[in-house]
Amino acid sequence: MTTDVLKERHRRWEVRQRTGARKETDMLIQKDVVILSIESSCDETAAAVTVNGRQVLSNEISSQIDIHTLYGGVVPEIASRKHIERMNQVIREAMRTAGKTFCDLDAVAVTAGPGLVGALLTGISEAKAVAFASGLPLIGVHHIEGHISANYIADKTLEPPFACLVVSGGHTNLVRVKGYGEYELLGTTRDDAAGEAFDKVARAIGLGYPGGPKIDRAAKDGNPEAIRFPRGKVEGSEFDFSFSGIKSSVLNYLNTCDMKGEKVDVNDVAASFQEAVVDVLVDHTMAAARLCGLDRIALAGGVASNSALRGRMKAACERENIAFFCPPPVLCTDNAAMIGCAAYYEFLKGRESGLDLNAVPGLKLGESLYGTEAGA
């Protein structure tokens, strides 16, 4: 990076620190907005370079699945250590693939929550270091907003408003996307997240970790009507979810088979469990879209890779003349391109995090990292 560029960036940084916000002119002179984004909220170390939010120049993901598989699930301490080991290399690769230098960047974005606190902090510290050294604005990003934004990358025509079902290992949210960065939470889980239920049931039937993809695969050889597992309902709350009942019901079924000495057909259990979960997810989402008068539905999060969920939601949308959007699997599971996309819309609103940005492990959808006033 040339000294002149760095000097000019630090001059602007000081102005922004004094005035509290980026000057409009600062933004207007930008033609293309190039963002380096970092994601490390769970067990993927990821970095991406995006242009104007929706164009992905690189999307590097280093998965830690192999090591966590040895323990049957994500071990937070190991996740943090692996992020530290791999982060520099992943960023270097993202910049190299994109053909960009730090001089070409307009901002550095990073997931600030929700997620595992130690894992989040590794990405945040790295992003702060790059932002400070390069004199670039730092943009903290909400992980769930990132998942939703993956849809903007997958389909360049998609614009709010739409309904979005966010289903991952840590979250189950039914969201009304009112505008860029504007969300109304319509429903959430009262207990386990959808992906968590997949992972726990997979472990119980001996498929191991990570459960979701393994149940998806096993279900293809099973009968979804073999066992009738309950469709979880939450009294008095039309759009909320509950998956602990389905999970307990699977465990009871396995115990009963064991006591009776009956053989368990793993594929049938996987298919019947998946059918019960997908039934509820599709029913709630369609009902929410109908109630809100939305003619677009999108899926997001790791569980959005599930073939039955994608197929059933698409068919339901076709029946009701609703447009259906779903990112490819690589943009459903944790990645940094989705963080870059969400950051772009924050950038356009003039939002910037301070170097005191902290991890917010329990950040909920609808809660902002920027308080209520900034750019609102």
Closest residue by Cα to residue 297 from 278, 276, 282: 282
Smallest gap, in angstroms, from Cβ of residue 367 to ligand KG4? 16
| CB of 33 or CB of 144, closer to ligand KG4 | 144
| C-beta closer to Zn ion: residue 151 or 168 | 168
Interacting partner of 198 out of Zn ion, ligand KG4, none (Cβ under 5 to 8 A depending on kind): ligand KG4
Contacts (CB under 5 A) with Zn ion, residues 289-348: 334
| Shortest spacing between CB 329 and ligand KG4, in angstroms | 7
Distance set, CA 6 to CA 11, 61, 115, 220, 370 (Å):
9, 29, 33, 56, 26
Rg for the chain (alpha carbons), in Å? Answer: 22
Interacting partner of 306 out of ligand KG4, Zn ion, none (Cβ under 5 to 8 A depending on kind): ligand KG4
Q: Which of 168, 172, 249, 368 binds Zn ion (CB under 5 A)?
A: 168
The option from Zn ion, ligand KG4, none interacting with 199 (CB < 5 to 8 A, set by class) reads ligand KG4
As measured in angstroms, the least distance from the Cβ of 18 to ligand KG4 is 37
Q: Give the separation between CA 86 and CA 74, rounded to whole angstroms.
A: 17
Q: Which is nearer to ligand KG4, 81 or 200 (CB)?
A: 200
Q: Segment contacting Zn ion (CB under 5 A): 164-172, 232-240, 259-267, 315-323?
A: 164-172
Name which of 267 and 306 has its Cβ closer to Zn ion: 306
Query: What's the token pair of residue 286?
Result: 């369609």
CA 168, 86, 100 angle in degrees (round to 5)? 95
Min CB(168)–Zn ion separation in Å: 4
**Would you say the C-alpha torsion 131, 137, 141, 146 has a positive or negative sign?**
negative
CB of 213 to ligand KG4, least distance (A): 4
First-to-final CA distance of the chain? 34
Residue 13 binding partner per list ligand KG4, Zn ion, none, with a CB distance cut-off of 5 to 8 Å that depends on partner kind: none
3-state secondary structure of 262: coil
Specify the residue, 51 or 90, whose C-beta has the smaller distance to ligand KG4. 90
CB of 187 to ligand KG4, least distance (A): 18
Which residue matches tokens 């790059």? 130
C-alpha span between 81 and 351 (Å, rounded): 30
Instruction: Residue 305: name its binding partner from Zn ion, ligand KG4, none (Cβ under 5 to 8 Å by kind).
Output: ligand KG4
Residue 315: alpha-carbon gap to chain centroid: 24
Closest CA to 110 of 142, 136, 154: 142
192 in contact with Zn ion (CB under 5 A): no
Give the span between the Cα atoms of 202 and 214, in whole angstroms.
Answer: 7
- Spell 97-126 as b/e; 16+ CB within 10 A means b: ebebebebbbbbbbbbbbbbbbbbbbbbbb
- Residue closer to ligand KG4 (CB basis): 60 or 352: 60
Q: Using CA atoms in the order 201, 205, 207, 213, what is the torsion angle rounded to 10 degrees? A: -40
Residue 291 CB, nearest approach to Zn ion (Å): 27
Residue 320 contacts residue 313 (beta carbons within 8 Å): no
Q: Which residues bind ligand KG4 (CB under 6 A)?
A: 42, 168-170, 195, 198-199, 210-213, 216, 301-303, 305-306, 333-334
* Partner from ligand KG4, Zn ion, none binding residue 149, C-beta < 5-8 Å depending on class: none
Shortest Å, Cβ 69 to Zn ion? 18
Give the count of residues interacting with Zn ion (CB under 5 A): 2
Choose from ligand KG4, Zn ion, none: what does 53 bind? Cβ within 5-8 Å by kind: none
Residues that bind Zn ion (CB under 5 A): 168, 334
